[in-house]
Amino acid sequence: MKNKILISTALVLVSLSQLYLEVLLTRMFSITQGYHWAFLIVGLALLGNGMGGTYLIFRKDVHKDDGIKHLRLISMLYPLSIILAYIGINLLPFDPYLVPWSKVQLLYFFFNLSIFLIPFFFSGLIVSLSLTLFSSIHSTLYCMTFIGASVGSLFALLSLSMLSEFRALLVSIIVGFLASLLLCRGSRYNSISAVLLLVFMHLFVYMPFDISLRFSPYKDLSQMLKIPSTRILATYRNVSSRIDIIESPTIRYAPGLSYKYIGKVPSGIGITIDGENLKGIITSNHFTDYLPQAVLYELKKDPKILIVNPIGGLDIVLAMEKNTKDITVVFENPIMVDVIKKYLPYSSNIHYIAEHPRVYFAQDKELFDVIQFSLEESFYVVTSGSYSLKENYTYTVEGFKSAYSRLNPGGVILFTRWLQRPPVEELRLFNIILTGLRELGIKEPERRVISFRSLNTMTFLVKNGEFTREEIYRIKYFLESMAFDPVFFYGLKPAEVNRFNVLPDDIYYEYFQQILKDKNFSKRYPFCIDPPRDDRPFFFQFFKRAQIPTILRNWGRTWQPFGGAGYIIIIAVILLIILISILIIMLPFILKRAILPMSCRISSLSIYFFAIGLGYLFVEIPIIQRLILYLGKPVYSFSIILAIILVSSGFGSIFALRLNKYPIPLVLGASIITISLTLPFILEFSLKYPFYLRIFICIAIVSPLGFLMGIPFPIALERAKNYSVSTIPWYWAINGVASVLSSFLSTVIAMYTGFTFILIISGLLYLLSGFILLSSDKRNKEDVT
């Protein structure tokens, strides 16, 4: 094991396997539980790594007596733990929404948590033990972990689009055993590692069996598969989604359909994305005249139309039925283009584009008579709060303004949303529209907006210009003929509302009027309906702290997540994991303080490592979330930005000792604060550029930060090593706890304050660490003199 190349290569492979596993598990959680649970993976990985450092503190024999032997054994346990974790997760029926009734779910939660932690504990133990055993080259090894992790995050992009979930998991295991084979070279463990590697390579190539993912029972796909005669016709995958085409006699899709329609809605084929958002694939057009969005064709004859994300093709069929000659369809997901082309009849009038609508608006300056935002999500019960953490850059003030700028004079935007009670989506979208129009310099935005409701949907019309009396008359005639109720337009009288789909009280009309006239209405409203922005793009985040007493009173009395506890459960899980991380990593040091040198207990270096642990993730996670729009998809942002940060941090760690005499943390802190203030303008200006140029811009922005972020840890580790090698696991553990805290807190805090605020906090933390380092150096000089 004296070969430095061998240990460096092994660490590259271990880090590659771990980051690849993180990205893979993030996608798996999105598929099985939902996007709102996937973010837990990053925190669990960091917690497992921190536990590795804690373990070494209490098992000094591991790195003092026969450290190489332990390293070889752990390297074999790591890939084996991956497959055991995957099997365990699929076997344990953890359901967070049953917690109020079934306390056994808490037990399942701890089992799931423990199973997830095991692979990351072993990988963290390998890295921590290697840094301790080979402390003379710790900067090089630290760099190798960054390089391996960056390759792993990019490698995941390739495999996720080509392999099934189980086969993709086998890749992580095989890479882990390759690392084990290098570490076990020349020992009695070598043959065992080689045999296990061959076994899993055989599984990967021949796949004698497959262990499918177990979906949450709340997913649409899970519900549909319980119905007799339902079957999956095809499954498609890419880096950002799993799309299932299902056939069932119960699938009928026509949201908002007027009750004046007396025919039968066709049934047959549906589509789910990551197991949810069930939509029918529509091929028949005999009922489309009775849909709310048909109002467009009362206003515009043969319009030049842009349709955004018409999952299932309903709005495309409507446009074709109206003989529209120029139809542009934008899908975020390229697979959807292929699916719709397969099931809908061919038309030379339709032009398909696979791109995020915001990117398309920035790149293409073409103007349209109509821009239609289709209803792409399933009905989300507002009080569940389960989708609060999901970013949505389409429904922000900036998103609305970008769409509005692509309208011809007199052009119209149409939005369709589900009708909620109590209303939230509708009020938030109305706030977005009014705010966007006002920021565009329009003094009387209410003259440009019309809203009406069906039995279960609400439709918004926004015109580039004021609606004329003739247009309002035509819309009113359409609403009368289809039995839709007007909610808002300029001059609407109370006697004209709530006549067809009758409610005990028409709160929609009342609340829209209050939003228009009372600036403080949003503050008083029990749910958060402020207009989201790109810096805080959480359209489905309606939670206010004032709701907590009501939610707790209803705890266990309503069916979750529909009793409002969805958001509370997510936050509770975060807090529980944070508490567990502190207990697991820090409590042993508190209970057995004598195991550490006295000065280490109150050392300023402890605060330093904690500050840079918080600061690193407070840069990484907000930038990843902020660049989701810029790069088009969450998985692109996660993998590409993570790779850039990790590679540049790796190079920074190599040069760390050479730059030791410079106040790098202070420079870094000032740079982060500067970037946080200038980044929104850079992204807005350059969003129009091609994808490859946007990647280069990301590299230009992020890599200097990453390079500087790779320096603070090694330079402080060098000081710790000079004091005592045995303190390295202690600082590794402190840094791990801080990383776990920041991975969870950054997203939750950003929902209320925005990404810019989190970046500024990170800059301040690095400034604090810089001053700690300067004061430490000053004290050392005084001690010498």
Tokens found for residue 35: 């996007």
What is d(CA 745, CA 766) in angstroms, rounded to the nearest whole number? 17
* 101 C-beta neighbours (distance < 10 Å), count: 12
pLDDT digits (tens, 9 = 90+) for 11-51: 899 999 998 988 888 887 777 766 556 567 777 787 787 77
* DSSP H/E element including 630: helix 628-631
Whole-number pLDDT of residue 556: 53
Please report how the helices 40-58 and 4-32 are oriented relative to each other, as an axis angle in degrees rounded to 10: 140
For residue 140, pLDDT beyond 50: yes
Instruction: Give whole-number Cα distances, 586 to 103, 496, 592, in Å.
Output: 28, 65, 10
What is the percent of the chain where pLDDT is above 90?
35
Instruction: Name which residue leads in pLDDT, 383 or 723.
Output: 723
Whole-number pLDDT of residue 736: 75
Please report which confidence band the pLDDT of residue 560 belongs to, taking 50, 70 and 90 as the band edges. Answer: very low
What is d(CA 361, CA 355) in angstroms, rounded to the nearest whole number? 10
Provide long-range contacts, Cβ within 8 A and 24+ apart, for 133-140.
133/63, 133/67, 133/68, 133/71, 134/4, 134/7, 135/721, 135/725, 135/728, 137/4, 138/714, 138/717, 138/718, 138/721, 138/728, 139/653, 139/654, 139/656, 139/657, 139/714, 139/718, 140/4, 140/8, 140/654
For residue 595, pLDDT beyond 60: no
Q: Quick check: 244 and 271 in contact, CB under 8 A?
A: yes
Q: Quick check: 150 and 19 in contact, CB under 8 A?
A: yes
Task: Beginning with the edge strand found earlier in the chain, give each strand of the sheet holding 241-252 in spatial order.
Answer: 231-238, 241-252, 267-273, 276-280
Per DSSP, 468 falls in state: P
What mean pLDDT comes out for the span 193-204? Answer: 92
List the one residue out of 764, 309, 310, 750 whose CA is nearest residue 534.
750
Amino acid at 192: I
Handedness of CA 646, 649, 651, 654 (dihedral sign): negative
For residue 170, pLDDT beyond 60: yes
What is d(CA 746, CA 734) in angstroms, rounded to the nearest whole number? 18
For residue 689, pLDDT beyond 60: yes
Longest dimension (CA), the chain: 95
Instruction: Give whole-number Cα distances, 727 to 54, 597, 718, 723, in Å.
Output: 11, 8, 11, 8
Output helix, strand, coil percentages for the chain, rounded to the nearest 5. 60, 10, 30
Whole-number pLDDT of residue 720: 67
pLDDT digits (tens, 9 = 90+) for 297-354: 999 988 999 999 998 889 999 999 898 999 999 999 899 999 999 888 888 889 999 9
Q: Quick check: 585 and 54 in contact, CB under 8 A?
A: yes
Q: Are strands 407-418 and 457-463 parallel, antiparallel or unpaired?
A: antiparallel
**pTM: predicted TM-score of the whole model, two decimal places:** 0.87
For residue 567, pLDDT beyond 90: no
Please report which confidence band the pLDDT of residue 486 belongs to, taking 50, 70 and 90 as the band edges. Answer: very high
3-state secondary structure of 487: strand
For residue 98, pLDDT beyond 50: yes
pLDDT digits (tens, 9 = 90+) for 626-637: 998 999 888 788
What mean pLDDT comes out for the span 658-669? Answer: 85
Whole-number pLDDT of residue 593: 55
> What is the overall mean pLDDT for the chain?
83
Amino acid at 428: R
What is d(CA 467, CA 410) in angstroms, rounded to the nearest whole number? 9
* 370 half-sphere exposure, CB direction, 13 A CA radius: 30
Provide long-range contacts, Cβ within 8 A and 24+ apart, for 324-332.
324/349, 325/349, 327/351, 328/353, 328/366, 328/368, 329/353, 330/306, 330/354, 330/355, 330/357, 330/360, 332/356, 332/357, 332/632, 332/633
What is d(CA 28, CA 46) in angstroms, rounded to the nearest whole number? 18
